[in-house]
Chain A
Amino acid sequence: MTGTTGNVLLESRNLKRYFRLDHLRYVHAVDDVSLVIHTNEILGLVGESGSGKSTFGKTLLGLHDKTAGEVLYRGEVLPARYRSADFQRFARSMQMIFQDPYSSLNPRMTAGEIIAEGLRLRSDAKPQAVRDEVARWLGQVGLSPDHGSRYPHEFSGGQRQRIGIARAMIVEPEFVVCDEPISALDVSVQAQVINLLADLKFKFGLTMLFIAHDLSMVRYVSDRMAVMYLGALAEVGPADDVFFRPMHPYTQMLVASNPEPDPVVERHRSPEPIQGEIPSPINVGPGCRFAGRCPKVMDRCRQTTPELLPVRDLNSRDLNSNATRQVACHLYG
């Protein structure tokens, strides 16, 4: 999986993003993450809060500076620290959809102005063409053209998220980071937004990094799934394989704690208790990050950090060449 397949759109190599607390303490939010994202795939990224998923997404897009490592887009190394010209250039191909449709829309701008902003920043934008595009995108996300003159507070949560999607999509990006796009929405509306995103992927050949903590939803929407724990990747593979045959003990714990909407299944759930909580990401030492909570912990785990290595999943039905499973665990090394 080292970029030989030729359809790699975006790749992070040993990407790190630390936040400095004081001269001794650093938050290791993203710590040495190498991940390949293929053209026209939805890669789901799951993990508990504090695992660094959002920071990773934002660092990919240049919204955070990179502490170390690099991000390659179509083979081109992106700047470690974006300047405004870089944002102007890369924002056309890479966009973000945010979690909270309430705080991510400017309350003083109309929906139309919010959606148009990305286009208007281009020097060659003609007002009539921008208006037409806004109307077209309002339609694409299932709103009507007259919604454009309304303000964010006049919309429901689901409708606001549609505005956020249209805002990101109007520049016709190739790659979109969706950061928990449905967590703030009601169940019936979540499905509307998920189906809309899947539609956009199909229609426009979009590539997406879909960040969420809802495992069932990530499995439903994603082609591949990556599991993050305390700033590092624990497991990557085809979504169904990772969900149904998790290999890393952390993934196994996540899947085991994910409630299934079926009382019969729930009644027969194994009563194995879930241990501990995610520790602090400040000055993470050597060894496996999950060692403190892992039911299968060995001596080795506390000393050497396991690398993310390919592991064969003999039961995988996914014959795609991109379908290799990678696991960072000494049990498989």
Chain B
Amino acid sequence: MSSPHDYAPHDYAMTVDHLEVEFDTYGGTVHAVRDVSFGLRRGKTLAIVGESGCGKSVTVQALMGLIPMPPGRITRGSAKLGDTELIGLRERTLNRIRGNRIGMIFQDPMTSLNPTMRIGDQIVETLRVHRGMSIREGFKEAERLLDRVRISEAQERARQYPFEFSGGMLQRVMIAVALACSPEVLIADEPTTALDVTIQAQILDLMQALQREEGMSIILITHDLGVVARMADDVAVMYAGQIVETGSVEAIFHRGGHPYTLGLRRATPSNAPGRAQQLEPIAGSPPDLFHPPAGCGYFARCPHAMRICERRMPEPFELTEVSGRADEIRHRARCWLQHAQAPRTEGVNQNDAGREVS
């Protein structure tokens, strides 16, 4: 896959090219991430969408140097934070980048915090390691950070233990820890999946407000299309270890060019009045990544599959946008339906003149 970056390099906070990750298991080698490339624009939110097992979490773990090796292995590819190459860095160098320049929050804040340490102490620990603060300075700063993530009575809350916090409050604490060093990039891996909708709305609002204040770039990993619609500027749709479509959030939701993207949309209830919409499940299940198919990973489930789809995965095709805005990223889909000679297919946004990007 070619580089997806059409802008000058300084527009990107982070770029990933041809990333491949494998895991050795008793059952054989799992090809978890297969030739993944994307760019995260500065100050914007990129959502990586996909179902469990599609490789979205492994992708960002690779960026953070969090893949356990062995059994994991990054076999190919590069990931750059500004000009710094992240893949293959030594642990010590990585430790300076993690936390300082990239912050991360996870799905389950309870397991990310030490249950036997007071909340304040855990934040102070980060501040001492990364910003060389004294304990006294650290506590002051911890209170300021808790305040920033809208936790009231920060001074008292800092003296409490994780079990005294609700799930939503713990996620705020995790965001406070991630913000401690004003990172350029925040990676949020399903940050609201374990939370109620009302608390989810609060956390998403908070992330948006902090992004505006700090100019952070965010990679948001989620399977929830509602969250994507609310948060994302750009979207990458992943399936079976590959990115099958990238584009602006409008392009992905309203002018989708890959049948999997469209399938996800139709399997999600919309909130439009009336019951005209029928939920259309995607039949079957994703392919076995021990033996990834030679062709398109979606072949077996795709209602529009053609013979070539089984044999070869196309490079991304660029879609011509009729209604796109000038500042949108290029809309690309890895699907043979975008080829100039592909049959016209209803519901799929197809090119008039398909052009494989290479």
The chain A residues found within 8 Å of chain B, CB to CB, are: 48-49, 156, 158, 186-192, 194-195, 213, 215-217, 219-220, 240, 243-244, 253-254, 256-266, 269, 273-274, 277-278
Contact = CB atoms under 8 A, between A and B. Distances in A.
A175 to B, nearest CB: 23
B97 to A, nearest CB: 32
Interface stretch (B67-75, B267-275, B347-355): B267-275
B201 interface: yes
Given A259-B200, A259-B224, A263-B250, 13 more contacts: A187-B225, A187-B268, A188-B267, A191-B281, A216-B226, A256-B201, A259-B230, A261-B265, A261-B270, A263-B254, A265-B229, A266-B226, A274-B205
Contact of A257 (B200, B229, B271): B200
Interface in B197-216: 197-202, 204-205
B197 A213 contact: yes
A274 B201 contact: yes
A216 B223 contact: no
B255 to A, nearest CB: 12
Contacts of B241: none
6 contacts: A158-B285, A216-B268, A219-B269, A256-B201, A259-B226, A259-B227
Interface string B154-168: 000000000000101
Contacts of B168: 277
Given A195-B279, A240-B273, A265-B229, A49 B202 contact: no
Nearest to B283: A192
Interface in B145-188: 166, 168-169
B230 A186 contact: no
A266 B225 CA distance: 11
Contact of A186 (B51, B205, B271, B280): B51
Interface of B: 51-52, 166, 168-169, 196-202, 204-205, 223-230, 232, 249-250, 253-254, 263-265, 267-271, 273, 275, 279-283, 285
Contacts of A48: 196-199
A54 B168 CA distance: 21
Contacts of B282: 188, 191
With a 10 A CB-CB cut-off, give which of A220, A243, A263 has the most chain B CB atoms.
A263
A257 B204 CA distance: 10
Contacts of B205: 273-274
A27 B253 CA distance: 44
- 3 nearest A-B residue pairs (beta carbon): A259-B226, A257-B201, A191-B281
Contacts of A220: 269, 275, 279
Contacts of B225: 187, 261
Nearest to B49: A187
A187 B223 contact: yes
B169 to A, nearest CB: 8
A216 B269 contact: yes
A265 B228 CA distance: 12
A214 to B, nearest CB: 8
Nearest to A46: B197
B271 A266 contact: no
Contacts of B232: 263
A264 B200 contact: no
Contacts of A258: 197, 226, 271
A13 to B, nearest CB: 29
A191 B285 contact: no
B267 A49 contact: no
A115 B226 CA distance: 35
Contact of A277 (B52, B199, B265, B281): B199
With a 10 A CB-CB cut-off, give which of B197, B249, B250, B263 has the most chain A CB atoms.
B197
Contact of B253 (A189, A213, A263): A263
A27 B70 CA distance: 48
Contacts of A216: 226, 268-271
A188 to B, nearest CB: 4
B88 to A, nearest CB: 33
A187 B52 CA distance: 9
Contacts of A253: 198
Contacts of B281: 188-192, 194-195
A191 B223 CA distance: 14
Contacts of B166: 277
Contacts of B223: 186-187
A188 B202 contact: no
B210 to A, nearest CB: 14
A188 B198 contact: no
With a 10 A CB-CB cut-off, give which of B199, B228, B263 has the most chain A CB atoms.
B199
Contacts of A273: 202, 205
A157 to B, nearest CB: 8
Contacts of A192: 281, 283
Contacts of A188: 51, 263-264, 267, 281-282
A262 B229 contact: yes
A213 B200 CA distance: 12
Contacts of A158: 285
Contacts of B269: 216-217, 219-220
Contacts of B271: 216, 219, 243, 258, 260, 265
A101 B263 CA distance: 24
B98 to A, nearest CB: 30
A261 B285 CA distance: 23
With a 10 A CB-CB cut-off, give which of A213, A259, A264, A269 has the most chain B CB atoms.
A259
Contacts of A269: 230
A263 B325 CA distance: 14
A121 B225 CA distance: 44
A49 B197 CA distance: 10
A158 B301 CA distance: 15
Contact of B279 (A191, A213, A254, A264): A191
A266 B285 contact: no
